[in-house]
Amino acid sequence: MKEEDLLVQKAQKGDSNAFGKLYDIYMPRIYRFVFLKVGHKHDAEDVTQHVFTNAWQHVEGYEFQGFPFSSWLYRIASNAVIDHYRTTRPSQDLETVPEELLSQPARFEEKLDQVFNLQVVRTALKKLDPDQQSVVIMRFVEDLSTKEIATALEKSEGAVRVIQHRALKLLQTQLSKTYGRNVETTTKEV
Amino acid sequence: MWKQQLKRFRDITPDATWSAKTKRAVLSSRIPETLVPRVSISIFSFPRLLWIGVPVVVIMFLFTSIYFFASPSQGAISSLDTDKLNTEFNSLSLNVHLQSVSYKDSANSAMASAIQEITDTGAKHLSPFLLESEIEILQLDTNPPPKEKSIDQLLNEVIF
């Protein structure tokens, strides 16, 4: 049995230390996913806290179905983000690219390029619908498999592939507009 | 290129202080099961509640019954005192009896007077003489009086 499974079993029996370890493993990924979806640091922190509070209170209800525990957490996170958008007014995402992305030493011009590129990708990402955003983030940021994404989003694998295909087409169109040329990637690459 | 950019989003990490604070808040949001006495959870499950509840109700019923029947003179159960009930019952039937007698008495007198009136031939409205005289009066009334004829003739003369 994997270490993660043991931790989950212990957490299901009420072992807070075990759940604490699961928190340490998965919280950064969930935070990142939520941050890229909501676009604001404070909102991302609130939603992430809500996700883990919810997970800790309902961990007994988790049933292992051959997918990592993270799929279950991503599902809670997706629902939490939807709830967040339901309860708060949509606002324009003007938050700048997080500092940690620019932490590597670089020349001023390179840094400027980095900021520009990241900002462009983020803007393009924000123009996708919520499911498309989730699929792109899970697939290309977190490297989850199509099966895992399907479990997390409660959709079939076929539906996830269709969403991914449409999302990449849209991203390509958005980025082409910004850069004024065809971006290197086509949906065939994926 | 954009895929590399997306990969760079992996560097997004939450604030370490916030992360630690949130972890404490999350873990304290639920009482650890070790602190919850298992007995208190299991004892309130429905089947157990039934097993405990039914005997308790039966015992309470028995005690209550014994209490009521063993001490009938208590104020709370004075209405169950048979002597008192008998007295009350007797007085009630007596009242009914008296009321019935008074009713029958008045009915008897009414009936007696009615019978007496019927059998009494001297009564005015049953006298055959009186009845005959009334018939005569009625017959007289059916014939128009001569006075009235002469009046009609006079009126005809005046008008025509």
* Total CB pairs under 8 A between chain A and B: 94
Q: Is the pLDDT of residue A52 over 60?
A: yes
The answer, for B24 touching chain A at a CB cutoff of 8 Å, is no
A144: pLDDT strictly greater than 80: yes
Quick check: A141 and B10 CB within 8 A? yes
Chain B contact set for A137 (CB, 8 A): 6, 9
Taking Cα atoms as reference points, which of A71, A88, A86 lies closest to residue A33?
A: A71
Q: How far is CA A85 from the centre of its chain?
A: 15
Q: Which of A29-38, A141-150, B96-105, B108-117 has the lowest mean pLDDT?
A: B96-105
The ipTM (two decimal places) reads 0.74
Q: Residue A189's pLDDT is what?
A: 43
Average pLDDT over chain A, rounded to an integer: 82
CB contact (8 A) between residue A56 and residue B32:
no
3-class DSSP assignment, residue A64: coil
* DSSP for A54-114, written as a single string: HHHHSGGG----SS-HHHHHHHHHHHHHHHHHHHS------PPPPGGGG-S---HHHHHHH
d(CA A105, CA B18): 25
Is-contact A108 A140, C-beta < 8 A? no
Residues of chain B with pLDDT under 50: 40
Question: How confident is the model at residue B75, as a pLDDT?
Answer: 56
pLDDT at residue A92, rounded to an integer: 46
pLDDT band at A86 (very low <50, low <70, confident <90, very high): confident
Which residues from B are below 8 Å from A100, CB to CB? Answer: 11-13
Mutate to test the interface with A, among B3, B10, B31, B36 (most CBs of A within 10 A): B3
Q: Measured between CB atoms, does A128 come within 8 Å of chain B?
A: no
Residue ranges of A 68-97 with Cβ closer than 8 A to chain B: none
Residue with tokens 């086509």: A186
Reduced to 3 states (helix: H, G, I; strand: E, B; else coil), residue A118 is: helix
Please name the residue of chain A whose CA is at the shortest distance from the CA of residue B13.
Answer: A28
Torsional class of A105: left (φ above 0), alpha (ψ -120 to 50), beta (otherwise): beta
CB of A106 within 8 Å of a chain B CB? The answer is: no
Cβ atoms A48, A70 nearer than 8 A: no
Alpha-helical regions (H) of B9-160: 16-27, 38-43, 46-70, 82-119, 128-142, 146-159
Q: Which two tokens stand for residue A29?
A: 């990924």
pTM confidence score: 0.56
Task: Using the predicted structure, report yes or no on whether residue A139 has a pLDDT greater than 60.
Answer: yes
Nearest alpha-carbon partner for A101 in A20, A23, A36:
A36
- Give the one of B3, B23, B34 whose C-beta lies nearest to A140's C-beta: B3
Q: Which residues, 6+ apart, have CB-to-CB distance to A140 below 8 Å?
A: B3, B6, B7
Measured CA to CA, the distance from residue A40 to residue A92 in angstroms comes to: 10
Give the C-alpha separation, A166 to A160, whole Å: 10
For residues A83-111, average pLDDT:
61
Closest Cα in chain B, distance from residue A141 (Å):
5
Which residues does chain A have within 8 Å of residue B12's beta carbon, measured at their own beta carbons? 31-32, 35-36, 98, 100-101
The residue that leads in pLDDT, A158 or B102, is: A158
A76-90, A99-113, B56-70 — which is least confidently predicted? A99-113
Closest to A101 in 3D by CA, of B5, B19, B20: B5
Mutation target to probe the B interface, by most B beta carbons within 10 A, among A12, A31, A175 is: A31
| Of A173, B130, A58, nearest in space to A186 by CA | A173
As a whole number of Å, the end-to-end CA separation of chain B is: 139
Q: Which residues contact B9 (CB under 8 A, 6 or more apart)?
A: A32, A36, A101, A118, A121, A137, A141
Q: Give the per-residue pLDDT at B133.
A: 77
Residues in chain B: 160
